[in-house]
Structure 1
Amino acid sequence: MRKMKSLLIAAAMFFGVSSTAVMAQSKVAHIDVQALMSELPAMKSADAELKKMGEGFEANFKSLITEYQTKVQKYQAEAATAGEIENEKRAKEVGEMEQKIQEFQNSASQQLEQKRMQLLQPIMEKAQAAIKKVAKAKGFDYVMDATVGGGLLVADGPSLLDDVKKELGVK
C-alpha cells in the first residue's frame, strides 16, 4: 500500500513538472476582446443600426399598449350599461389584444437578436482573424481573452490589443 502511495505521489510530481515545462515553452498573450470590439467603427455602426431598429419596435409597442389601455378604460367605464353579451365580446377582444402584444414582444425580441447576430458575426470573424495574424507574427502560441469576467485572473503578460487595433486600422 505504501508503494502504491509513493508511486502516485511520484507520478503526480512528474506530470506536474512536465506540464510546467510545457507551459514554460509556450508563449501566451492576452487581449481584452470587449475593449477591442467597442472601438471598432463597424461595431459602432452595428450598434447604431440595432438601436434604430429597437426604437422602431418600441414605438410600435407603445402604440399597441396605448390602444389596449384606451379600450380597457372605455370598456370598464361602459361595462355596467353594455350588457352581458357585449361585455363578453369586449373581454374576448381585450384578451386577443393582450396576446397580440405578447406575440409582438416575442417577435421583436427574436428579430433584434437575429439582426444582432447577422451584424456581429462578420465583425467578430474579422477581429478573430486579426488576433490570429498578430499572435502568429509575434510568435504567441496562445491568446487569452482578458475581458472582465472572462475567466482570466492575471493579465501581467503581453497584451495584443494595440497591435490588433493597428492591424484593423483602429486608432
Structure 2
Amino acid sequence: MKTLLSVLLITLGASLASADAKIGYVDVQRAIEQSSIGKKAKDEMKKEADKRNKDLEKRKTDIDKMREDIEKKRAVLTEEAFTKRAQELQEEMQKFNQLAAKAQGELQKKESDLLEPIVKKMRTVIEKIAKDKGFSMVLQSNPNAQIVLFSTADSDLTEDVIKAVDKEK
C-alpha cells in the first residue's frame, strides 16, 4: 500500500511538474503542536489526563493496600474468609480496569473534540495560503509518514500556517 501511494505521488508529481504546478506541504502535527490554539488544547488535555490519573492512582493504591492486607492475614484467615477477600480484591481490580478503560476512551473523545475545530481552521488557513502563494497542491507531511522525501524550503508552508492560525485567534 505504501509503495502504491509512493508511485501515485511520483506519477502525480511528474505530471504536475510538467504543467508548471507548484506543490507545497504542511506538517499539520507540528503546526498543531506549535500554534497557540494547539498548545491551549494540549494544556487542557494534560490537565484532564492528570486529574483522571490522580483518581486512578488513588484507587490503585487502595487496591494495593487491600492486596497487602490479604497477604499479611492469609495465615490467620480461614480458607473461606481468604477466598471471599481474594474474590473482593479481584472484583475491585476488575472495576479499576473498567474505570481505566473508560477514562482512556473519554480522554480520546475529548482529544478528538478539541482537535476537530483546530484541524478545520488549519485546513481553511492552508487553502488560503496555498491560493495566495499560487500552489496547485499542498500535501500533508509528517516525519513518520515520509510522504515528502525532498522539497525546497519555500515548499514548506508549516510556519506560514502556524503564524496565520495564531494571527486569527
Q: Same fold by TM-score, threshold 0.5 exceeded?
A: yes
Assess if the C-alpha contact under 8 Å between 2:60 and 2:96 holds in 1.
yes
AA partner of residue 155 (structure 1): S
Residue 61 of structure 1 corresponds to 56
Alpha-carbon distance, 1:82 to partner: 1.6
Residues of 1 paired with 2:56 and 2:104: CA distance?
A: 12
Alpha-carbon distance, 1:155 to partner: 1.8
Residues of 1 paired with 2:87 and 2:140: CA distance?
A: 53
Alpha-carbon distance, 1:104 to partner: 1.3
Residues of 2 paired with 1:73 and 1:20: CA distance?
A: 67
CA gap 1:144/1:22 in 2 versus in 1, 3 angstroms:
closer
AA partner of residue 18 (structure 2): A
Residues of 2 paired with 1:162 and 1:54: CA distance?
A: 29
Deviations 1:97-132 (A, max 9, x none): 110111111011101100000000000110111001
Assess if the C-alpha contact under 8 Å between 2:122 and 2:165 holds in 1.
yes
Assess if the C-alpha contact under 8 Å between 2:63 and 2:89 holds in 1.
yes
Among candidates 26, 30, 33, match of residue 28 of structure 2: 33
Matches within 5 A, 1:1-171: 20-25=14-19, 26-150=21-145, 151-156=147-152, 158-170=155-167
- Paired residues, what number? 156
Alpha-carbon distance, 1:164 to partner: 2.5
Which stretches of structure 1, 4 residues or longer, exceed 3 Å deviation after superposition?
Answer: 19-23
Q: Residue 143 of structure 1 aligns to a residue in which SS? A: strand
Identical aligned residues as a percent: 26
Residues of 1 paired with 2:51 and 2:15: CA distance?
A: 57
List gaps (5 residues or longer) in structure 2.
1-10
Assess if the C-alpha contact under 8 Å between 2:125 and 2:164 holds in 1.
yes
Q: Residue 81 of structure 1 aligns to a residue in which SS? A: coil
Q: Residue 35 of structure 1 aligns to a residue in which SS? A: helix
Alpha-carbon distance, 1:44 to partner: 0.8
- TM-score, normalised by the number of residues in structure 2: 0.82
AA partner of residue 136 (structure 2): D
AA partner of residue 112 (structure 1): L
Assess if the C-alpha contact under 8 Å between 1:146 and 1:155 holds in 2.
no
